[in-house]
């Protein structure tokens, strides 16, 4: 958890030095995640995945993570806990015996 705390503390320091917390409400952080995810998608538009620029991918992915971490912090969520819980939920929805090797959604298995 210390790595996440270090990242979140650095993000908040950067934000607070610029007086941007006023813009970082849950709605706008959620919108920012979606917008940055779209910018990440744009890097793959009309090209093969292997032709995408890895440096730009890193930048856009960092933006997605940054806003997601700030949103989690806004609600006092433990990132490790919520991700591991979601993995456990998905394990129940997608048991290996039914889902291995298929991209079908859990209600189509």
Number of domains in the chain: 2
Same domain, 52 and 30: yes
Same domain, 59 and 90: no
pLDDT tens sequence across 18-33:
999 999 999 999 999 9
Burial of 70 (0-12, 13-18, 19+ CB in 10 A): buried
**pLDDT > 90? residue 109:** no
Rounded to 5 degrees, φ, ψ at 46 are 65, 25
Tell me the CATH number at 20: 1.10.287.1080
Farthest CA pair distance, the chain: 51
C-alpha of 62 from chain center: 9
Q: What is the pLDDT of residue 104?
A: 87
Q: Which domain holds residue 102?
A: 78-109
Same domain, 69 and 20: yes
pTM (two decimals): 0.90
Same domain, 90 and 66: no
């Amino acid at each position: 958890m210390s790595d996440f705390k270090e990242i979140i503390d650095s993000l908040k320091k950067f934000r607070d030095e610029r007086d941007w917390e006023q813009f970082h409400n849950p709605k706008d952080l959620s919108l920012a995640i979606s917008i940055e995810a779209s910018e990440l998608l744009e890097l793959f538009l009309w090209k093969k995945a292997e032709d995408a620029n890895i440096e730009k991918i890193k930048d856009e992915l960092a933006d997605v993570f940054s806003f997601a971490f700030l949103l989690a912090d806004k609600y006092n969520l433990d990132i490790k806990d919520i991700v591991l819980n979601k993995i456990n939920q998905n394990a129940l929805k997608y048991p290996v015996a039914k889902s291995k090797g298929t991209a079908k959604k859990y209600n189509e298995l």
